[in-house]
Amino acid sequence: MSVKTFKIWYLTHKWTSLICTAFMLLLCITGLPLIFHHEIEHLLGDAIEAPALPAGTPLTSLDRVVAAAQQAMPDDKPLFVSWDPDEPELVFVSAAKTATETQDFRFVALDARTAHILKTDSSDQLDFMRVMFRLHVDLFAGLPGMLFLGFMGLLFVVAIITGVAVYGPLMRKLDFGTVRKQRSTRIKWLDLHNMLGIVTLVWALVVGGTGVINTWADLIFKYWQHDQLAQMVAPYAGQPVPQNLGSLQAAVETAHRTVPGSTPRFVAFPGTNFSSPHHYAVFMRGDTPLTSRLLQPVLVDAVTAELTDTRKLPWYAATLLVSQPLHFGDYGGLPLQVIWALLDIVTIVVLGSGLYLWLARRRSNPVEQRIAELEREAAVTPALATRSAAE
């Protein structure tokens, strides 16, 4: 690698790291409790649990569930019905003043067997986990905040790649993993920064890359709405919006018959962004480790409960859905969560040490000293070659 090329890699690594470090520290710190969000909710007493009933107690009708939820939220319109993948006896109904609201909404958690209300809550009631989640996802700034964090994530990925390019020439005279403890504090932290950074390289790229993809979630599903969803509901264009909706239970049963061997993950009511004014959109998930992360929308006529259309999600939406559990490490149980947490802590050390190296910089920057050495080597080598030829 020429001296000029090394300088370009080094300066790119330096400035992309400086720009994104503070925000990446925030994301790593807020992401740590999110890895264990189920466990923390149980510890804080915020977890929702259905009461124990005799084994084999059948589920009640979804129409009864929605009716109970509407009694608890009489001034709101139902938006979604969703299920906890790990606890099928829990069902959640969210509602808002208008069908297109996504930020300010209320939800009711119910027992899917009895339609008894277990908890009512609102999106504007902030507890510890919600604050961590909103800071991690959008900085309480909605879509602009998500896109801003996505840009910071891109800079983080660039910083990782350029850091690898800088690592080789910088550390070529030292054994892998060397930390020069006898040198100054700054040199020790530089060695530690380089060693931990290269060890966590793959994990940081995976989590950073999937994090960037997740920040595009709203844009990806908006494109899906204008692409596939628009094609699926085209036959209903110009028809009046139904005033009275049919049975939600019948719509879900239609989806079960259409996609056998799957279960509903959530249902979008007519008029929401995930459906049309004329349809229940039932999003079905598979029963394997991979297909359980993927969704297949089934559009069912909201009046007659007849099938309108169903299509597998396109590659861009499937990529988003697969990246989400990979980002938080929640597809391999507690052991993988612990590994993700440990790697997250190491990344915090890498980011913090990089910030320290910048704040404690001096004129005798070790990297810049290495650049000077390379320049001297580049100047000496041609001279030696000329001298040898003359002799």
pLDDT digits (tens, 9 = 90+) for 180-220: 777 777 778 888 888 888 888 889 999 999 999 999 998 99
Percentage, residues of the chain above pLDDT 90: 43
pTM given for the model: 0.82
Same domain, 278 and 373: no
From residue 370, alpha-carbon distances to 86, 120, 173, 374 in Å are 54, 61, 11, 6
Does residue 252 form part of some domain?
yes
Residues 249-256: what's their mean pLDDT?
A: 96
Residues 342-360: what's their mean pLDDT?
A: 88
- Locus of tokens 């299920």: 83
Does residue 348 form part of some domain?
yes
Name the range with the highest mean pLDDT among 82-86, 89-93, 192-196, 237-241. 89-93
pLDDT tens sequence across 94-136: 998 877 656 667 889 999 999 999 988 876 677 788 899 999 9
Does residue 385 form part of some domain?
no
Neighbours of 114 (CB within 10 A): 18
What per-residue confidence (pLDDT) applies to 391?
40
| Amino acid letter, 81 | V
Same domain, 224 and 307: yes
Give the model's confidence band at 379: pLDDT under 50 very low, under 70 low, under 90 confident, else very high.
low
pLDDT tens sequence across 273-292: 889 999 999 999 988 877 88
Average pLDDT of the chain is: 85
Q: Where does residue 247 fall: left (phi above 0), alpha (psi -120 to 50 degrees), or beta otherwise?
A: beta
What per-residue confidence (pLDDT) applies to 153?
94
Q: Nearest 5°: CA angle at 307, between 304 and 313? A: 140
Residues 73-83: what's their mean pLDDT?
A: 92
Is the model's pLDDT at 370 over the cut of 70?
Answer: no
Residues 57-71: what's their mean pLDDT?
A: 94
Residues 52-64: what's their mean pLDDT?
A: 91
What per-residue confidence (pLDDT) applies to 179?
72
Same domain, 149 and 278: no
Same domain, 183 and 228: no
Same domain, 137 and 233: no
Is the model's pLDDT at 386 over the cut of 60?
Answer: no
Residues 331-346: what's their mean pLDDT?
A: 86
Give the model's confidence band at 176: pLDDT under 50 very low, under 70 low, under 90 confident, else very high.
low
Same domain, 101 and 224: yes
**Count of alpha carbons within 13 angstroms of residue 145, beta-carbon side:** 12
Same domain, 167 and 275: no
Is the model's pLDDT at 300 over the cut of 80?
Answer: yes
Does residue 71 form part of some domain?
yes
What per-residue confidence (pLDDT) applies to 390?
37
What per-residue confidence (pLDDT) applies to 388?
40
Give the model's confidence band at 374: pLDDT under 50 very low, under 70 low, under 90 confident, else very high.
low
Same domain, 190 and 99: no
Give the model's confidence band at 52: pLDDT under 50 very low, under 70 low, under 90 confident, else very high.
confident
Q: Which long-range contacts (CB under 8 A, 24 or more apart) does 9-16 make?
A: 9/162, 9/165, 9/166, 10/162, 10/166, 10/367, 10/371, 12/158, 12/162, 13/159, 13/162, 13/163, 13/165, 13/166, 16/155, 16/156, 16/158, 16/159, 16/162
Number of domains in the chain: 2
Give the model's confidence band at 383: pLDDT under 50 very low, under 70 low, under 90 confident, else very high.
very low
Same domain, 97 and 225: yes
Same domain, 269 and 287: yes
Q: Which of 167-181, 263-277, 327-341 has the lowest mean pLDDT?
A: 167-181
Does residue 181 form part of some domain?
yes
Same domain, 322 and 181: no
Q: What are phi and psi of 53, to 5 degrees?
A: -130, 165
Range of the domain at 30: 3-38+133-207+344-379
Same domain, 114 and 199: no
Does residue 290 form part of some domain?
yes
Does residue 389 form part of some domain?
no
Does residue 52 form part of some domain?
no
Percentage, residues of the chain above pLDDT 70: 87
Is the model's pLDDT at 347 over the cut of 80?
Answer: yes
Residues 325-343: what's their mean pLDDT?
A: 82
